[in-house]
């Protein structure tokens, strides 16, 4: 492995869009994110592009969709495009039976309006389990609102519960144009991408050849823009990637980790890191670099099922992640004792945790929808924005964001603070035993 300076040079050589500190802000809460999202929809004058895993058929989803449609009725020339995962839009939530799918919901709501918006279903793979559209980023005219959040009640704190994420607002025509250009060229004009708000039958069996061709195209897709960054300015590099080979986003994340000289701060909701990323973190600890990892408590996981509720297989995931975390903490107990490694467990009432991203040395950061797990590393179509701020003009904003994240997190001082398998509910123990007996741990780690 090369010295950190080598990786810093690799990152600094990437083409960058320059922004002023005043054009970059971080929204501090989930409810404020919802309010800002609706405000930007109302204010948009010529284009709105929304890319997310899903727009849910619930109260918040309907509020956002109707806001988009009302903006379109008021300004018919407004260019409104929504991109969601093709497969996710045509099923209910995992573990639940749905009276209607999201696609049914889109068709019902859009039919009420004279000027519909365009809702596109993007199939990344033939089956959802092998890869989904996990690109993030909302464009309103020349503003990019970037978050790992999708659109539903819990992501937008519509009721009592919320799912905590990161919410970055960037005013930049160049960055906005690059996001729109990518969506137009690689998604909107893609033959595999189908409209979801009309009655066309678009079963995936009929578009399998188009999906295969699309996958080859997406592997080579990248954001296009004219670099205008000079020394002393904040530089942004939008990146995307799919698959383990030649993945520009994965490579930038690895370079970011390896570039660290003093301190690395990582957020991930699902503790199941790719082997290469774990190896890089081990390398930092051996070099005496401080590493903080903030991960959700198992009860703050999207898939957690309380012991007094009916159990389903998907409810075993939070326990698998905790088992991974306990093993990692046990291997690094000496680093924990020395203060070199801080494992922080986030929990706030019955809310859930969905933060992703990295900060290095207070000068470089990655905001991303990538969960930093093998699935994100090798299956899903992911993106992110690398932020390089050598003058630390955004330091106060990033430090405040970290403070808010840590406000509901506690440090793990000893791996024994995490439950063992024998402490889990009987159904979870049986599931984990079955996984070990069938020797499918490696396969499962790649797809969760």
DSSP string, 128-167: GGG--B---EEEETTEEEEES--BSTTTTT-SS--EE--E
Residue ranges of alpha helices (H) inside 137-263 are 173-182, 208-219, 248-258
pLDDT tens digits, 26-70: 999 999 999 999 999 999 999 999 999 999 999 999 999 999 999
Q: Is the pLDDT of residue 213 over 60?
A: yes
Kindly state whether residue 229 falls inside one of the protein's structural domains. no
User: Which of 44, 37, 271 shows the shortest CA–CA distance to 157?
Assistant: 37
Cα separation, 442 vs 314, whole angstroms: 17
Kindly state whether residue 131 falls inside one of the protein's structural domains. yes
C-alpha dist (Å) from residue 242 to 147, 191, 217, 378? 19, 18, 10, 6
Cα separation, 420 vs 259, whole angstroms: 35
Cα separation, 192 vs 148, whole angstroms: 24
Residue 381 is given by DSSP the state B
Catalytic residues: 134, 165, 354, 382
Together in a domain, 241 and 201: no
Instruction: Please say which residue of 184, 219, 254 terminates a domain.
Output: 219
Together in a domain, 187 and 293: no
Helices 426-438 & 317-331, crossing angle to 10 degrees?
70
Together in a domain, 146 and 248: no
pLDDT tens digits, 277-320: 999 999 999 999 999 999 999 999 999 999 888 999 899 999 99
Other CB atoms within 10 A of residue 25 CB = 15
Together in a domain, 252 and 292: yes
pLDDT tens digits, 323-360: 999 999 999 999 999 999 999 999 999 999 999 999 99
Which residues does 5 contact at the CB level (< 8 Å), separation at least 6? none
Q: What is the pLDDT of residue 407?
A: 98
Token pair, residue 67, equals: 């806001």
Together in a domain, 264 and 299: yes
Domain of 209 in residue numbering reads as 21-219
Q: What is the pLDDT of residue 91?
A: 80
Together in a domain, 207 and 240: no
The answer, as to whether pTM is greater than 0.85, is yes
Kindly state whether residue 224 falls inside one of the protein's structural domains. no
Residue 228 is given by DSSP the state -
Other CB atoms within 10 A of residue 142 CB = 16
Token pair, residue 237, equals: 């590099």
Cα separation, 355 vs 284, whole angstroms: 22
Together in a domain, 77 and 158: yes
Together in a domain, 135 and 271: no
Q: How confident is the model at residue 94 (pLDDT cuts 50, 70, 90)?
A: low
Token pair, residue 6, equals: 């080598």
pLDDT tens digits, 386-407: 999 999 999 999 999 999 999 9
Q: What is the pLDDT of residue 92?
A: 66
Together in a domain, 338 and 375: yes
Number of independent structural domains in the chain: 2
Kindly state whether residue 243 falls inside one of the protein's structural domains. yes
Other CB atoms within 10 A of residue 395 CB = 13
Token pair, residue 280, equals: 């890089």
Together in a domain, 259 and 328: yes
Together in a domain, 286 and 388: yes
Together in a domain, 301 and 153: no
Kindly state whether residue 228 falls inside one of the protein's structural domains. no
């Amino acid at each position: 492995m090369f010295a950190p300076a080598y990786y810093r040079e690799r990152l600094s050589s990437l083409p960058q869009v320059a922004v002023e500190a005043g054009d970059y802000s971080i929204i501090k809460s989930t409810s404020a994110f919802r309010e800002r999202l609706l405000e930007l929809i109302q204010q948009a004058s010529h284009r709105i592009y929304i890319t997310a895993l899903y727009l849910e058929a619930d109260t918040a989803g309907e509020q956002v969709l109707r806001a988009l449609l009302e903006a379109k009725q008021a300004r018919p020339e407004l260019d409104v495009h929504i991109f969601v995962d093709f497969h996710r839009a045509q099923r209910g939530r995992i573990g639940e039976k749905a009276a209607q799918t999201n696609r049914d919901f889109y068709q019902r709501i859009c039919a009420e309006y004279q000027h519909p918006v365009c809702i596109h279903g993007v199939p990344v793979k033939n089956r959802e389990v092998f890869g989904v559209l996990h690109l993030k980023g909302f464009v309103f005219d020349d503003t990019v609102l970037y978050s790992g959040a999708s659109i539903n009640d819990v992501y937008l704190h519509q009721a009592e519960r919320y799912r905590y994420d990161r919410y970055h607002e960037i005013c930049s025509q160049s960055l906005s144009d690059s996001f729109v250009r990518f969506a137009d060229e690689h998604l909107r004009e893609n033959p595999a991408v189908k409209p979801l708000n009309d009655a066309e039958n678009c079963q995936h069996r009929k578009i399998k050849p188009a999906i295969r061709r699309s996958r080859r195209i997406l592997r080579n897709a990248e954001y296009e823009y004219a670099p205008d960054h000079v020394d002393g300015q904040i530089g942004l590099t939008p990146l995307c990637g799919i698959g383990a080979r030649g993945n520009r986003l994965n490579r930038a994340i690895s370079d970011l980790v390896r570039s660290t000289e003093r301190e690395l701060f990582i957020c991930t909701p699902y503790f199941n890191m790719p082997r290469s990323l774990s190896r890089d973190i081990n390398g930092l600890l051996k070099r005496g670099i401080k590493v903080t990892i903030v991960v959700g408590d198992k009860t703050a996981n999207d898939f957690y099922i309380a012991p007094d509720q009916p159990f389903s297989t998907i409810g075993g995931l939070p326990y698998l992640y905790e088992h991974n975390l306990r093993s990692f903490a046990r291997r690094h107990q000496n680093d924990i004792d020395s203060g070199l490694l801080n494992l922080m467990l986030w929990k706030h009432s019955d809310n859930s945790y969905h933060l992703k991203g990295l900060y290095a040395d207070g000068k470089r950061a990655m905001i991303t929808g990538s969960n930093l797990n093998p699935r994100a590393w090798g299956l899903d179509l992911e993106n992110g924005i690398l932020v390089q701020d050598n003058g630390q003009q955004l330091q106060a904003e990033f430090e405040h964001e970290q403070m808010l994240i840590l406000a509901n997190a506690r440090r793990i001082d000893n791996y024994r603070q995490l439950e063992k398998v024998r402490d889990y509910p009987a159904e979870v123990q049986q599931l984990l035993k079955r996984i070990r007996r069938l020797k499918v741990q490696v396969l499962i780690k790649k797809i969760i």
